[in-house]
Amino acid sequence: MTTKFFTIVTLLVLTIGSTSLLAKQKPFLIHGQLPHLTAVIMQLWDDEDLALTPEQKTKLKQIRLKTVGGLATLKGEVFPLEAEIVKASKNGTNPKELEEDVEKLAELRAEATMIHLKCLYNTRNILTKKQLKMLD
């Protein structure tokens, strides 16, 4: 019974730990379910089969710059705020006192998710059906 309990606790700690590490890497609300399409496209930038036109490349660069810039700004706010909340909680701060910061964190993560969704939408609208099928 003790071994089974220890195994369950260990798995739980590992799961929680890996989830929090994942959340720290990306400022989004949704993790692992939305593709990072521009990253894939960048790897296939000059691929003959994908065959991006010069016009598509120009538009895709603009989308990527806007997306990366917006996310960089938000990361600079999300991760320090998250660290402050965690530190305050560990120090015994009343959750009521953290409520405003938690709401701000949620807003920032929602904004980052919207940037990601807009990037996906705009990128898909630039590519042809054939190109999109190649990326699936």
Other C-beta atoms within 10 Å of 7: how many? 10
pLDDT of residue 61: 97
User: CA 135, CA 59: separation in Å to the nearest integer?
Assistant: 18
Q: Quick one: pLDDT band at residue 34, thresholds 50, 70, 90?
A: very high
User: pLDDT tens digits, residue range 84-134?
Assistant: 999 999 999 999 999 999 999 999 999 999 999 999 999 999 999 999 999
Query: Exposed, middle or buried: residue 116 (CB in 10 Å: 0-12, 13-18, 19+)?
Result: buried
pTM above 0.85, yes or no: no
What is the average per-residue pLDDT within 14-25?
A: 49
User: CA 120, CA 43: separation in Å to the nearest integer?
Assistant: 16
User: pLDDT tens digits, residue range 38-57?
Assistant: 999 999 999 999 999 999 99
Q: Per-domain residue ranges for the chain? A: 2-135
What is the average per-residue pLDDT within 5-19?
A: 45
Longest dimension (CA), the chain: 64
User: pLDDT tens digits, residue range 54-78?
Assistant: 999 999 999 999 999 999 999 999 9
pLDDT of residue 25: 72
